[in-house]
């Protein structure tokens, strides 16, 4: 209820009170006046309270507006910062998703390559070709082209995967690639001790069979060295062989078949390259010595010719000195003759030519 409504109600009550006073007399009029006075005071208090309440409400409204503006500003700033952080987070998330997509693509490609490698290794012929290609890359990457040959045919009709052409001793060495992958996988996939022992015996038997074949086929007396190399194109198979079957490795030593992995073959080939370089230097040592002797002979002849040239230069220097003496005398006598011809005090008949014998002696000087 607002102030106007309250005033209307008070005025209405006052009018009603005046009618009542008129109708009932003095006593009632006095009571009505007192009542109207109270009503007027109450109205005044209500009006003051209404004014105070209105002021407070206006102040509250002003404070509320200020608070709302501050809150709105803070809310807007917070939303702006949150939007920026959200945008930055989304950008980083997008970049990370791009990296994840790239990594996923690489993993997919690698998986396809692994599947392709498994397909290659599951076939014996393809697996053999894989080992030969790896052997080819290792040998051709370390040794010079004239130090090896692939698929070289021996005198017994066998064809070696690789033949290292080394001087005697030791002579040419054969490298044959073998890959006993089935027995190795059976060993790795064994579930219990009994199955593991069976697979281990089968793995040892397969390696021993390869060692015997290499010893019989590729060690040819008088043609090759007394040993050969068996190349295992897998470090895992090589490590498992040495860790689980040292007796098989010892038998290969006795058969003079050295089992090598890609890493050990690389070290062996580097040693072979150093040996070939040393042999080449020794072969060239005689040629170098012969050339040095010829060069010493040339130096001796050059020294003789320099000595002769020095003697000739000395004689020429002496001749030049004699010539300079003679030209000096001729010049001196010419000056004397000129002085005699140009003199004015001496009569012409007093001038006599020098005697002939004197000129001959001077000319011979």
Distance of alpha carbon 225 from alpha carbon 173, whole angstroms: 5
- pLDDT value for 356: 46
| pLDDT of residue 41 exceeding 80 | no
Determine the longest span between alpha carbons in the chain, in angstroms.
Answer: 206
Phi-psi region of 161 (alpha: psi -120 to 50; beta: other; left: phi over 0): alpha
Pick 17 or 209 by higher pLDDT.
209
pLDDT at 23: 52
From the CB of residue 145, how many other CB atoms can be counted at a distance below 10 Å?
A: 7
Calpha distance 52→35 (Å, rounded): 25
Question: Does the pLDDT of residue 330 top 50, yes or no?
Answer: yes
The 3 state secondary structure assigned to 124-189 is HHHHHHHHHHHHHHHHHHHCCHHHEEEEEECCCCCEEEEEECCCCCCCCEEEEECCCHHHHHHHHC
Mean pLDDT on 175-186: 80
What integer pLDDT is reported at residue 87 of this predicted model?
84
Whole-angstrom Cα distance, residue 230 to residue 249? 11
Cα–Cα distance for residue pair 315/225, rounded to 1 Å: 70
Q: Provide mean pLDDT across the span 258-268.
A: 90
* pTM beyond 0.75: no
pLDDT band at 29 (very low <50, low <70, confident <90, very high): low
Among 16-30, 108-122, 281-295, the minimum mean pLDDT is found in 108-122
Segment 337-357, tens digit of pLDDT: 877 755 545 444 444 444 444
Identify any residues that bridge with 257 across adjacent strands, giving them in sequence order. 228
CA angle 171/176/178 to nearest 5° reads: 155
Q: Between 359 and 175, where is the model more confident? A: 175
Q: Which range, of 162-171, 191-200, 355-364, averages the lowest pLDDT?
A: 355-364
Q: How far apart are CA 139 and CA 58, in angstroms?
A: 98
Residue 58's pLDDT is: 84
Asked whether the beta carbons of 263 and 292 are under 8 A apart, the reply is: no
Report whether pLDDT(206) > 70.
yes
- Locate 50 and state its tokens: 């209404």
């Amino acid at each position: 209820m607002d102030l106007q409504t309250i005033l209307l109600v008070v005025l209405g009550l006052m009018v009603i009170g005046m009618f009542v006073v008129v109708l009932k007399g003095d006593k009632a009029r006095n009571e009505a006046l007192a009542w109207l006075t109270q009503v007027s005071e109450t109205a005044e208090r209500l009006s003051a309270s209404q004014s105070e309440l209105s002021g407070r409400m206006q102040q509250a409204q002003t404070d509320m507006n200020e608070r709302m503006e501050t809150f709105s500003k803070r809310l807007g700033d917070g939303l702006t910062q949150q939007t920026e952080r959200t945008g930055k987070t989304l950008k980083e998330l997008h970049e990370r998703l791009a990296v994840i997509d790239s990594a996923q693509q690489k993993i997919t490609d690698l998986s396809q390559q692994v599947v392709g490698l498994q397909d290659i290794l599951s076939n014996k012929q393809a697996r053999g070709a894989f080992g030969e290609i790896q052997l080819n890359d290792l040998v051709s990457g370390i040794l010079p082209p004239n130090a090896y040959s692939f698929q070289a045919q021996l005198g017994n009709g066998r064809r070696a995967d690789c033949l290292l052409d080394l001087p005697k001793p030791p002579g040419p060495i054969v490298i044959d690639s073998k890959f006993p992958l089935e027995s190795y996988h059976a060993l790795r996939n064994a579930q219990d001790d009994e199955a593991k022992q069976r697979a281990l015996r089968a793995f040892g038997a397969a390696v021993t069979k390869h060692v015997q074949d290499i010893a019989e086929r590729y060690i040819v007396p008088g043609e090759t060295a007394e040993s050969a190399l068996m190349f295992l194109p897998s470090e895992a198979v090589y490590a498992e062989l040495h860790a689980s079957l040292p007796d098989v490795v010892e038998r290969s030593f006795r058969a003079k078949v050295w089992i090598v992995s890609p890493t050990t073959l690389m070290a062996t080939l580097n040693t072979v390259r150093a040996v070939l370089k040393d042999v080449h230097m020794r072969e060239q040592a005689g040629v170098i010595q012969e050339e040095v002797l010829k060069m010493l002979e040339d130096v001796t002849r050059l020294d003789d010719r320099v000595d002769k040239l020095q003697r000739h230069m000395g004689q020429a220097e002496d001749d030049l000195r004699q010539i300079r003496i003679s030209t000096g005398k001729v010049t001196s006598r010419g000056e004397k003759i000129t002085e005699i011809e140009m003199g004015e005090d001496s009569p012409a008949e007093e001038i006599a030519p020098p005697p002939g014998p004197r000129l001959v002696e001077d000319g011979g000087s």
